[in-house]
Amino acid sequence: MAVAVSGGVDSMTLAVLAHRVQPATQIFHAISPAVPFQATDRVKLHAKREGWQLKIIDAGEMEDPRYLANPANRCYFCKTNLYDRVVENSALTVASGTNLDDLGDYRPGLIAAQEHQVCHPYVDVGVDKSTLRAVADDLGLEDLKDLPAAPCLSSRVTTGIAIDASLLPVINEVEETLRKQLTDQYSLQGVRCRIREGEVAIQLESTADIGFASDQFDESAAVVRELFVQAGFPDQVQAVLFEPYEKGSAFLIETLDVS
């Protein structure tokens, strides 16, 4: 197979399995402003460790005006560009890390996968997220088995707000900086930097009960403002809010044009 890997636990575990079973497996990873550099570093580390035939590609979604417009089906255009590049570079069947849990969400990328005859091995054998994490553990993938979900950085931008490639690394830097600063204090499991019109919402996923008092995060808010201003986006941080984590809250499906 030709396995498309993002750097997350799903596709990485699939790549390890596929390559250990069949060393002729090809592994593809797309670099992009929407892909955190940490994910790319993780892919390269495992490629070296496992001896993958790794091919780094540019899927080209940042040159696609349909993607940059950030419609509700943005992921369709992302995956269309990705699978186009993979198919251009491989005659093998393309495989994705889609698992059973993914089928319950609105995922326009699955339409692009169907159009490119992409197979989903986890779905074929009935594997959900918790099971594939157990598989990763059984394979000795200590750095992957508990890896939190990490959608692309474009998913932080509210539907309908155009994607600016130069803004995405700032989002990643904000999340990483706050994760390092606040994890011990708030038992954080995740940080999301949500982009809205003129404001930034920092959503914290925690095992503790966070009160989100108005002055509780003043120091962190100042850090966020500084990072955006230094990067040339002062107008984005007219307001910096701190909120409980809400999965997919930047995604507004009601904006989807189904005409």
Query: Would residue 146 count as lying in a domain?
Result: no
**pLDDT tens-digit map of 66-82:** 999 999 999 999 999 99
Sheet architecture: strand order including 26-30: 53-57, 26-30, 2-4, 94-95
Query: Would residue 129 count as lying in a domain?
Result: yes
Query: Would residue 67 count as lying in a domain?
Result: yes
Calpha distance 73→197 (Å, rounded): 20
What does the block give as tokens for 43? 């892919």
With a cut of 90, say whether residue 257 has pLDDT above it: no
Please, are residues 173 and 227 in contact by the beta-carbon 8 Å criterion?
yes
With a cut of 70, say whether residue 9 has pLDDT above it: yes
Asked whether residue 42 falls in the same domain as residue 88, the answer is yes
Domain that holds residue 169: 153-255
Looking at every residue in the chain, the average pLDDT score rounds to 94
Calpha distance 146→101 (Å, rounded): 16
Residue 84 sits in a domain of what CATH number?
Answer: 3.40.50.620
With a cut of 50, say whether residue 65 has pLDDT above it: yes
Question: Which candidate, 75, 74, 124, 67, places its Cα nearest to that of 95?
Answer: 124
Helix axes 168-186, 218-230, angle to 10 degrees: 160
With a cut of 80, say whether residue 259 has pLDDT above it: no
The pair phi, psi for residue 241, each rounded to 5°, is: -110, 150
Please, are residues 155 and 250 in contact by the beta-carbon 8 Å criterion?
yes
Average pLDDT over residues 18-47: 97
Looking at 105, 138, 171, the residue that finishes a domain is: 138
Asked whether residue 184 falls in the same domain as residue 250, the answer is yes
**pLDDT tens-digit map of 152-164:** 999 999 999 999 9
Residue 223 sits in a domain of what CATH number?
Answer: 3.30.300.20
Q: Enter the pTM of the model.
A: 0.93
Query: Would residue 182 count as lying in a domain?
Result: yes
**pLDDT tens-digit map of 192-230:** 999 999 999 999 999 888 989 879 999 999 999 999 999
